[in-house]
C-alpha cells in the first residue's frame, strides 16, 4: 500500500467510522539493532500506509536536544474544519452521487505523529513514535486516528521482530518534556502544534 491509498482516505481527507472504537491513544518505544535514519524511514513508511502525510514545513531531521543527535520526522492526518461538520452538513455537502456512506464516516481531527530515533550503542538505536492530538477540530473525536496509529505501531513491531532485530519494546502513555523531538515543548514551540 502506498501513501494516499488508505481505503478511508489520507491526510486532510482522512475519515473514520463514527461507530469505530478508538481505544487507548498511545505511542511506543523500541530499541532495535539498526541505525537511526533507517528506523525513521521504516516507521514513516508504516504511518504513510495508514494515511499520514509528512509535514511540509522542512523541519525534519534537524532536532538536536541536549547534545543528543536525533533523526526525526513529523507526520499529520486530519482536518480541523471538516472534523467539526455535523452529520447533516456532511450528508448535504459531500460531492458524491451516493453521499450516505461518506456521511456515516467522520473526518479525523488534526493529529500529529513524531517519529524520532537516535543511536544508543554501536549498531543499536532507540526509536520513539508518539502522537499528539490538537485542541483544534472536533473534541469528541480527537482520538479518532488511534486505530491507524495502532496499526502502524503493530506493523513496526512485527517488522522488527521478523528481522530478529528488536532488543526491547514498550507502549508509551506519555513522554517526558525533556526537549526530545516528540516532547510537548518541541511540538508546541518548534512545530507550532496546538
Q: Where are the domains of the chain?
A: 11-189
The length of the chain in residues reads 194
User: What is the predicted pLDDT for the residue at 11?
Assistant: 80
| Cross-strand partners of 74 | 114
Reported confidence tier of residue 62, pLDDT bands at 50, 70, 90: very low
User: Does 98 score more than 50 pLDDT?
Assistant: no
pLDDT of residue 173: 93
Kindly indicate the confidence band of residue 26, based on its pLDDT and cuts at 50, 70 and 90: very high
- For 152-187, what is each residue's pLDDT tens digit? 999 999 999 888 889 999 999 999 989 999 999 999
Which CA distances in Å does 63 have to 45, 90, 165?
Answer: 20, 39, 25
Using pLDDT thresholds of 50, 70 and 90, give the confidence band for residue 136: confident
Residue 23's pLDDT band (cuts 50, 70, 90): low
> Quick one: pLDDT at residue 103?
53
Residue 107: the pLDDT is 81
- Mean per-residue pLDDT over the chain, rounded: 81
Residue 65 confidence (pLDDT): 45
Position 72 pLDDT exceeds 90? yes
Q: In terms of pLDDT, which residue wins out, 128 or 177?
A: 128
Residue 159, exposed/middle/buried by CB under 10 A (0-12, 13-18, 19+)? middle
Q: Which residue has the higher pLDDT, 96 or 116?
A: 116
Angle at 160 between CA 1 and CA 22, to 5 degrees: 60
Q: And the C-alpha cell for 58?
A: 522542512
* pLDDT over threshold 80, residue 58: no
pLDDT at 83: 62
- Residue 78: count of CB within 10 angstroms of its CB: 30
Residue 147: CB atoms within 10 A of its CB come to 17
Mean pLDDT highest for which of 56-65, 67-76, 133-142, 163-172?
Answer: 163-172
Amino acid at each position: 500500500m502506498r501513501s494516499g491509498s488508505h481505503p478511508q482516505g489520507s491526510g486532510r481527507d482522512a475519515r473514520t467510522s463514527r461507530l469505530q472504537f478508538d481505544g487507548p491513544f498511545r505511542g511506543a518505544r523500541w530499541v532495535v539493532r539498526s541505525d537511526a535514519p533507517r528506523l525513521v524511514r521504516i516507521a514513516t513508511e508504516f504511518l504513510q500506509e495508514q494515511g499520514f502525510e509528512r509535514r511540509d514545513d522542512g523541519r525534519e531531521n534537524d532536532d538536536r536536544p541536549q547534545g543528543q543527535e536525533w533523526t526525526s520526522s513529523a507526520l499529520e492526518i486530519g482536518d480541523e474544519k471538516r472534523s467539526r461538520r455535523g452529520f447533516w452538513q456532511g450528508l448535504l455537502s459531500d460531492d458524491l452521487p451516493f453521499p450516505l456512506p461518506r456521511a456515516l464516516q467522520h473526518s479525523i481531527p488534526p493529529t500529529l505523529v513524531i517519529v524520532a530515533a537516535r543511536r544508543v550503542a554501536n549498531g543499536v538505536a532507540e526509536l520513539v513514535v508518539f502522537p499528539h492530538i490538537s485542541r483544534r477540530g472536533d473534541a469528541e473525536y480527537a482520538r479518532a486516528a488511534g486505530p491507524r496509529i495502532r496499526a502502524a505501531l503493530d506493523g513496526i513491531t512485527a517488522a522488527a521482530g521478523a528481522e530478529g532485530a528488536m532488543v526491547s519494546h514498550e507502549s508509551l502513555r506519555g513522554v517526558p518534556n525533556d526537549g526530545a523531538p516528540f516532547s510537548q515543548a518541541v511540538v508546541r514551540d518548534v512545530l507550532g502544534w496546538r
